[in-house]
Amino acid sequence: MLKRILKKIVKKNKSSVPLKNFQPSKLNRKSLVDSWTDSELILFNNSLNWNAFTTDGLGRRVGDSHSDIKRNTPQELPDSRIVALNQVYPLEKKNVLEIGCFEGIHSIGLASMGAKVLGIDSRIENIIKARMRSFAYSFDDIDFKVLNLEKESLTSLGSGFHLVFNCGVLYHLIDPVTHLADVSKVCSNIMFLDTHIALEEEATEQYNTVLGNFKVKKYNEFGYKDVFSGMENYSYWLTEADLLKVLNELGFNFIETVYNKRERNGQRIRLYAHKR
């Protein structure tokens, strides 16, 4: 198991993406990485098998692209979605649970707004990279934990999270309704949800849940071996109507949809689900 993890996270080839001349990050603070020489930063970048990169205050690459065509441009830091969220729901001193922290990019963005962040991910290699990235940006107080969303409950993390940041994860799950029910148990105020959904004509599969039966889209996943896939070999996508119905039944009684658009991989929705 350990050998498999190390094989996945240790980088073997240097990147074709240049080191310099990108837009600097928009973090309003000095980071440890800003003080590193180019040689030190190259050593950091080449030490792990990164799948995305950000920039430091000097416009240098921190991390790496997944490939020459995927995640080959800098990821925003902080992400514009987090900036917009902070305007609606100020994150200062809020306890935030981040679902699917990936390599720590959104974790840092949330923490930069003053939130106390716990990031979870099903892949241990993502947790390692998230810790390393947060260290480079001097966010030593972000907490990270491995938790397999297909097999473990969020309730093991406790409750009282003011905000659950749920971006790009729900549509990778085999049982999204149980996941949302878990979220409702640990979330006290608001969930930020960014997910793909099924169009009505795409929902041809039957999905039985504790909240009833739903028609869903069955989507092929590639399992653990693919960092951009869910942990299983398929996932279920809810329709917009059923997603909103489920959220209401779980106590999210005020929902504000801020994005609903057809993208390359399907219809995508972004919303704020409030409990109060």
- pLDDT tens string 114-129: 999 999 999 999 999 9
How many other CB atoms are found less than 10 A from the CB of residue 255? 15
pLDDT in tens, 184-240: 999 999 999 999 999 999 999 999 999 999 999 999 999 988 999 999 999 999 999
Look at residue 268 and give its three-state secondary structure. Answer: strand
Residue 252 binned pLDDT confidence (cut-offs 50, 70, 90): very high
Band (pLDDT 50/70/90 cuts) for residue 12 is low
For residues 57 and 138, the answer to whether their CB atoms sit within 8 Å is: no
Among 274, 94, 256, which residue's Cα sits nearest to residue 189?
274
Q: How would residue 28 be classed by pLDDT, with cut points 50, 70 and 90?
A: confident
Residue 6 has pLDDT above 70, yes or no: no
> pLDDT grade, residue 10 (50/70/90)?
low
The token duo for 31 is: 């980071």
Q: Are strands 53-55 and 61-63 parallel, antiparallel or unpaired?
A: antiparallel
pLDDT over 70 at 248, yes or no: yes
Mean pLDDT of 37-52: 96
> Which DSSP letter does residue 70 get?
S
Tens-digit pLDDT profile for residues 73-129: 999 999 999 999 999 999 999 999 999 999 999 999 999 999 999 999 999 999 999
Q: Is the pLDDT of residue 135 over 90?
A: yes
Q: What is the mean pLDDT of the chain?
A: 94
Q: Mean pLDDT over residues 153-167, rounded? A: 96
Work out the pLDDT band at 178, boundaries 50, 70, 90. Answer: very high
Rounded Cα–Cα distance for residues 72 and 273 (Å): 32
List Cβ neighbours of 176 (8 Å cut-off, separation of 6 or more). 170, 235, 236, 237, 238
Residue 197 in contact with residue 264, Cβ under 8 Å?
no
Amino acid in the structure at residue 138: S
pLDDT at 7 exceeding the cut of 80:
no
pLDDT confidence of residue 3: 54
pLDDT tops 80 at residue 11? no
CA–CA distance, 114 with 108 (Å, rounded to integer)? 10
- The string of pLDDT tens digits covering residues 217-229 is 999 999 988 999 9
Kindly list the structural domains of the chain, giving each domain's residue range(s) and its CATH number in brackets, ordered by start: 2-63 (no CATH), 80-274 (3.40.50.150)
